[in-house]
Structure 1
């Protein structure tokens, strides 16, 4: 945890910006995997972590935006718990770590909420994403589970996003630690990758590194020689010489701050000419983003700049044709990069997207585009110092998508489908790094960048 004053300052700022009402911030509970006593690894709710820092299940926080009082609700451990778990800190001791002095049992949480509702006070809460939390909110507020979305506090959602998306020095240091772990993971991939290795062996090794140095992976690792499948979680393939291995993986620190990197490497340690040609286009799009990103710029502009690099590069290879400015304007390059350039990152690898992408990635100033590719951009709004972004351009050859576009006459005439079909079986390439927006521009996060050029990757794989 950070020092108690960090959480007190955050809660005070939330109250100040929101102005009034009762703010209900439930933490997560244990969740059973296949029988009650066998639970999934516990992961605390990130907003609860941001304002209270307590990584324990079964807690709920309440902030009174009128009186200025903070309350932490939960239960102390019983002797049965202690038999299995050993001595545990009390609820009151835990609360003090977060700068909270008033604590009570969960039964009193229900009474506190009922009293506030009876007094006509506004109860602010965020959209739940777990079934247990949905049922708890439904019971506390007297609202049907399927109707909760209608009562979510938009002012709270916007205020939490505004606070959490600007990382302070303590948070940036934690994200740097996550990036250091993530780099270790990708270096391990490059050391293990060779023909005959099963993807699962690599996935297991890098997931182990994430647990060795932190809280585990920040999302389920993508380790696949079928890189054209954007979120391929099947790890049963045997690596084959001449193919590419795409690995999208990151780590969480013990305080749950995240990293997210992608590297695409040749299985046998040497890129073919065709692979290198495509790889260098993607790397140029990655580099162009770091050249352009700065406070005041919109991230959708970064997406379009990367898209233009990709379109121009593909035209040089004969895969696209015509006026590339017009091609990007209509989203023709989305055949090759159907996803957006990146997303915010922090306590969540896709930071705060549980609150609502329309608040995290967009706002009243920036509305989501309907242009192919750009419509999939998770973060388009104006950049500001303290924001942490992923930069992850890619080029993929997805046979089903190519066939759909050709059959339906999509692409505005900018696609050379005959040439594209020659790349079926190529797979996909993505190169992802993490970026901090600074007052002067930006900088790449992590104390060491995993090899990113074709020469550096080949050299490292042959050490």
Structure 2
């Protein structure tokens, strides 16, 4: 786990980048489900955790960008808290663990902000993504909630700092990947006829929980792989179906995330059609991973995935015509309609709360308006220390195929009769987490089964 000096150094770098004013970072609050004492599992704000370490609700910190002075604000545990919830670190202990020398009660934050405002200092805040935080910021700043305006200087400084992972951070992501290895092997073992998607999802959740971990996002476990965000349901698995499992874990102590997708043949053997699509997606993924290197625009790798997939789909008779023209016009997006990947870190879509375009575009890159490519979350050049997911996919979505067919869209490129014959296949997505190094890249993690031979072997081992 990181030392107090790590957090002090992070704050010093942030203060230097912002230059002047008072930086205010709010931690997340506990969130009630249906009444005040019945709470959702707590998840700390990624930026607060990056600079303030503490993984507990109701905290805030201020950082003077000119002096570097930091104060942690929080409420001490009451006797009632200690009786019902047990002992917890004091605010001073939390501050010391993050190298912070000053503490204060929560109500002192408003006075600190007001003092800075009276002195004509700029108050720097990040964009709130929860309504309660927006209201809290509005009260601190003395404006209406809709008038809360985040600091561009602070957002840019945080993005620049958090996108580049240190060796310590990479180590924590790799630990999260060892947990992901366990949960994906569990999903493979469970991909047997007669089990339900709910049972697989429960086993995956239990595999993470047994290691003291939680999932980094609600697990996507489904035979409806053509719907990219479809979650588990009561469907009973049948031999010959394809089970897609997109699951990541959170390293318990540090909060760093993993995000992996695999596909398992129910019963243990890929059909000829499944094999053809799986091998094509794997070819595209491996080509894109091989291309990961400093200075390479991630948009170029997305385009490489699109061309590779389109070439294979022409060979399968689903598309026809010149591959470059197919991709330029966007006809391939009927089958590949999302971006290649996203940054990883303390958030599974790292920093997305600060604005997807601000994180992933800029410096000459603009978001495409073309269906499919418009969902690419990150386009800019890769740098050493970036950790990216690389996750191409192919999907046979009956609703989308029928819509495009009814509109006669890209009829010169798409064989709709052939496409209709694939409806019910589902979808294939293959995802790994990749570190950009000084001279190339490194696929992180222990080597989660991915080849057809390896996946089939793990699934078949679950029948014993």
TM-score if structure 1 supplies the norm length?
Answer: 0.97
Partner residue, 2:297: 298
Task: Decide which of 155, 162, 165 is 1:164's aligned counterpart.
Answer: 162
* Corresponding residue number in structure 2 for 1:457: 455
Q: Equivalent residue for 2:307?
A: 308
Question: How far off is 1:234 after superposition?
Answer: 3.7
The residue matched to 1:350 in structure 2 has which SS?
coil
Query: Is there any run of 5+ residues in structure 2 with no aligned partner, and where?
Result: none
| Equivalent-residue separation in structure 1 for 2:382 and 2:212 (angstroms) | 29
Map of 1:288 onto structure 2: 287
Partner of 2:173: 175
Q: Specify the SS of the correspondent of 2:304.
A: helix
Name 1:440's counterpart in structure 2: 439
SS at match of 1:354: helix
SS where residue 435 of structure 1 aligns? strand
Q: Which residue of 1 aligns with 2:404?
A: 405
- The list of structure 1 runs, each at least 4 consecutive aligned residues, that deviate by more than 6 angstroms after superposition, is none
Measured in 1, the distance between the counterparts of 2:160 and 2:207 equals 33
3-state SS of 1:92 partner: helix
CA contact under 8 A between 2:330 and 2:370: conserved in structure 1?
A: yes
Match of 1:49 in 2: 49
**How far has the Cα of 1:143 moved from its partner?**
1.6
Supply the distance in 1 between the matched residues of 2:87 and 2:224 (Cα, whole angstroms): 48
Cα deviations across residues 263-304 of structure 1 (Å, max 9, x unaligned)? 111112111111111111100011001111100000010000
What is the alpha-carbon distance in structure 2 between the residues aligned to residue 305 and residue 213 of structure 1? 38
Equivalent position of 2:330 in the other structure: 331
Q: Aligned-pair distance for 1:364?
A: 2.8
81-90 vs 230-239, greater mean Cα deviation: 81-90
Instruction: Map Cα deviations across residues 385-436 of structure 1 (whole Å, 9 max, x no partner).
Output: 0000001110000111111112223236211111101101111111111111
Report the counterpart of residue 106 of structure 2 in structure 1. 106
Q: Distance in 2 between matches of 1:460 and 1:184?
A: 12
Residue of structure 1 aligned with 2:225, choices 224, 227, 248: 227
What whole-Å deviation, never above 9, does each CA across 1:235-270 have from its counterpart, x for those lacking one? 211111111101100100112100111111111211
Asked whether the equivalents of residues 222 and 232 of structure 2 are also in contact (C-alpha less than 8 Å), the reply is: yes
Aligned residues: 460
What is the rounded CA distance, in whole Å, between the counterparts of 1:133 and 1:205 in structure 2? 35
Equivalent-residue separation in structure 1 for 2:335 and 2:98 (angstroms)? 47
User: Within the alignment, does 1:259 sit opposite 2:258 as a pair?
Assistant: yes
Q: Which runs of 5+ in 1 are unaligned?
A: none
| The 10-residue stretch of structure 1 (83-92 or 5-14) with the greater mean CA deviation from structure 2 | 83-92
Check the 8 A contact 1:327/1:412 in 2, yes or no.
no
Q: 1:217 aligns with which of 207, 215, 218?
A: 215
Corresponding position of 1:385: 384
* Map of 1:201 onto structure 2: 199
Of the structure 1 ranges 226-235 and 81-90, higher mean CA displacement relative to structure 2 is found in 81-90
CA distance in 1, matches of 2:201, 2:439: 38
Whole-angstrom CA distance in 1 between matches of 2:304 and 2:21: 44
